[in-house]
Structure 1
Amino acid sequence: MLDYSPIGFFDSGYGGLTVLKEVQKLMPEYDYLYLGDNARAPYGTRSSEVVFEYTWEAVQTLFNKGCDLVVLACNTASAKALRRIQQEKLIDYPEKRVLGVVRPSAEIVGDFSLNNNIVILGTNGTIASNAYIEEFSLLSPKTLVNQYACPLWVPLIENNEYRTPEGIAFIKNDIDKVLRFYPNSDVILLGCTHYPILQNIIEDLVPNHIKVVSQGDIVAKSLMSYLERHKWLADLLSRKGRTSYLTTENPGTFEELASLILDINVKAKHIKLNSWH
């Protein structure tokens, strides 16, 4: 086995760190390599073709860095690019796997609702893709899935403005609309990996009977189960408990916010992704 074959994590920005944090808690022995395309974030307003191109560039980069398994820790990339990458691109990489975050959530979140009525909050791209509607119809057909796009939330997080009075007012405005539009829903799924950073704020804004669900723990348990079922892949992965971070933006800026999210001292390196844009 190669000395270094980390599990790759990709997100358009910082959100995937919320998933990585939970995976590290559950499986601390593995090596991890995180890539944030912060220079081109957010992805939520971009076309499917651009999201696919950007995501595939990142996946190839992680492959070239030794990753045999890559997790798209980004709902927009999972919704708009994952299936196409799996069907069109992995033919040339038979021993590599790319997984997403939409399906693991759809497999389990319906069980959290007492009345089978939930709301998915996500970016414009994730909501417009209807990826959650499709997955829930297959995996939890009894669940009524409502959707609401929160396009301002990712920029608030990326710019570290979400705790300002103005930022909280934007979040409250969206939550008030969700409660008004979908009064019977008792579960809110944070269908963007950035949104758990806002979880405490959101929980303060909703009634106590509404459960606010983040994806990190769900994806972590799903990934552990996947590796148990695919031992050949688990055997390829290196296990020395190391984690490295790459960003397409300024490393210092990334380190500051990533350190806050992960509650550790993060050191990052800059990387440039090839692009036709």
Structure 2
Amino acid sequence: MSNKQPIGFIDSGVGGLTVVKEALRQLPNENILYLGDTARCPYGPRPAEQVIEFTWQMTRFLIDQGIKLLVIACNTATAVALEEIKAQVDIPVIGVIQPGARAALKASQTGKVGVIGTLGTVKSMSYEKELKEKSPTVSVTSLACPKFVPIVESNQFLSPVAKKVVAETLVPLHNKYLDTLILGCTHYPLLRPIIQNVMGKKVTMIDSGAETVNDLSTLLDYFDLNNYDLNDNKICKFYTTGSPKMFQEIADEWLDIRDLIVEHISLDD
């Protein structure tokens, strides 16, 4: 395996771009391949078996492209498919839940942690299990926010509609005295300013995707996979099962990179 091989990122749609953004900042020499299954997004309401199937399809596609490490940049897919995929592929694989839980416990002063995520992530109780395993006394309040992902995927995350939906959705978290809130879906950081405004300045936001890149950096060191070649022609390529135009509009705005290479692919067997 060559250290110049790319790191692969998979997500149900554009949400994993929040992870890529942090990876570009922390790991500027690394080549990156990203696959967003926007045609079948969101994954949250889907049965676990279907999410596992879709995650395997994305994994196999990027492995065929020659990636050296895989980041499952989707909380729903991490919750149901991470362990199975880790056990069956011969490259390192990392998800987003464990890093997010660890960061939340480190940030919380009161032990009252909130988790917002998709229906699938919340139903799996993956964050609660991870948090309780590390700190049995922590109080966890979880809330599914199924309307958030469609807002981001339709490029409305800065709109008045987004503000209204976020405010209405987060009402159940009022008076829970949370001091830390895990953004348990990689789409949610695009709504972060609105979420922060609704929750208040005293609540610390934990971006699971950004925290994952810290672990990714550690894995690269551990497996001696860092790309140190500063003269390498950097690869940063994006695949989508949906509209390349819509994907590119969101990616351009979020990553602030022009002339992104976005290619449409089909994953149907």
**Contact 1:107-1:140 within 8 A present in 2 as well:** no
Which of these residues, 249, 264, 268, is aligned with residue 270 of structure 1?
264
Equivalents in 2 of 1:71, 1:169: separation in Å?
Answer: 32
> For residue 17 of structure 2, what is the amino acid of its counterpart?
L
Instruction: State the match for 2:19 in structure 1.
Output: 19
**Contact 2:3-2:226 within 8 A present in 1 as well:** no
Instruction: State the match for 2:218 in structure 1.
Output: 225
1:131 positional shift? 0.8
> For residue 253 of structure 1, what is the amino acid of its counterpart?
M
Equivalents in 2 of 1:237, 1:139: separation in Å?
Answer: 38
TM-score norm. by structure 2 comes to 0.93
Structure 1: unaligned runs, 5 residues or longer: none
Question: In 2 relative to 1, CA 237–72 (structure 1 residues): closer, same or farther, beyond 3 Å?
Answer: farther
> For residue 274 of structure 1, what is the amino acid of its counterpart?
D
1:163 positional shift? 2.7
For residues 143-178 of structure 1, what are the alpha-carbon distances to aligned partners after superposition, in whole Å with 9 as ceiling and x for unaligned?
Answer: 222110000000011112233322211110112221
1:264 positional shift? 1.6
Equivalent pairs counted in the alignment come to 267
> For residue 109 of structure 1, what is the amino acid of its counterpart?
A
Equivalents in 1 of 2:263, 2:50: separation in Å?
Answer: 24
Please give the residue correspondences for 1:1-277 in structure 2 after superposition, counting only pairs within 5 Å. 2=2, 5-87=5-87, 89-90=88-89, 94=90, 96-180=91-175, 182=176, 184-231=177-224, 233-234=225-226, 240-265=233-258, 266-275=260-269
1:179 positional shift? 1.5
How well do the aligned residues superpose, as a CA RMSD in angstroms?
Answer: 2.0
**Contact 1:120-1:191 within 8 A present in 2 as well:** yes
Q: Which moved more, 1:146-155 or 1:165-174?
A: 165-174
Identity across the alignment (%)? 36
Other structure's SS at 1:81 match: helix
Question: In 2 relative to 1, CA 155–237 (structure 1 residues): closer, same or farther, beyond 3 Å?
Answer: farther
Structure 2: unaligned runs, 5 residues or longer: none
Equivalents in 1 of 2:134, 2:237: separation in Å?
Answer: 34
Other structure's SS at 1:241 match: coil
Question: In 2 relative to 1, CA 178–104 (structure 1 residues): closer, same or farther, beyond 3 Å?
Answer: same
**Contact 1:127-1:147 within 8 A present in 2 as well:** yes
TM-score norm. by structure 1 comes to 0.90
